Amino acid sequence: MRTMKKHQLMLVGPHVLTTSIAGWQVWDCASDPVPSGRQVDAALVAITRDTSPPACLRALADAPSLPVLALAPDDWIKRKDWRVLGYDGAVATGASVDALADALADWHRDATLETLARLEASFGIAEVTSLVERFGAMLATVRDERDPAALADMAHRVAGIAGTLGFAALGRLWLRVSQGEIKLADSARRAAAHAIGTIARRG
């Protein structure tokens, strides 16, 4: 069994988190604002009237596909189209540690790597490696595609293969794109880029 590695979770905003989350090394952007070569795996942002857009945070971390989750009041989550605003998830202010862990689970790469390892044990390393490499090429295509019709044509295939290989969040997003929610395309492309990074970490 692969030992779960701690991923880097960047906190942004006042009083974002006062507890630890299994599998995550938490650090506060307020006390250490510049990553300085630190690899950031996800960001949790407390929503205030002065909150910078997620794109600014991704630029700060030098990570264009960085998963950014909003920590916000329930009414904000219900009123705002937060995916269109550039967030990849939203968690209610005051959420339990378990709820935070669930929201972040989609962006912790080890679960997917575990699924790939199990598939290799069942079907052979060569077979799974070939499938993953072809999937990675497909993801690179959808990541860079800007034509809505072309994206819609590829979305269902991406969703199906993603689910098989353990990329749960990716599969759910691309399924929604395939069902006509083209406004989610930017979020789905970021998830594709994140999955490409996960594939690159296979050992």
Whether residue 195 has pLDDT greater than 60: yes
CATH 3.40.50.2300 at 7-105, yes or no? yes
Q: Can you tell me the mean pLDDT for 29-57?
A: 81
Residues of 129-158 as b/e, b for ≥16 C-beta within 10 angstroms?
eebbeebbebbeebbebeeeeebbebbeeb
pLDDT bin (cut points 50, 70, 90) of residue 20 is confident
Sequence-distant (6+) residues with CB within 8 A of 71 are: 13, 16, 44, 45, 46, 47, 90, 91, 92, 93, 95
Q: Residue 1 has what pLDDT?
A: 45
19 CB neighbour count, 10 Å cutoff: 8
Q: What is the pLDDT of residues 59-106, one digit of tens each?
A: 888 889 999 999 999 999 999 999 999 999 999 998 888 999 999 988
Task: List the domain boundaries for the chain.
Answer: 7-105, 109-200
Backbone angles phi, psi at 125, to 5 degrees: -65, -45
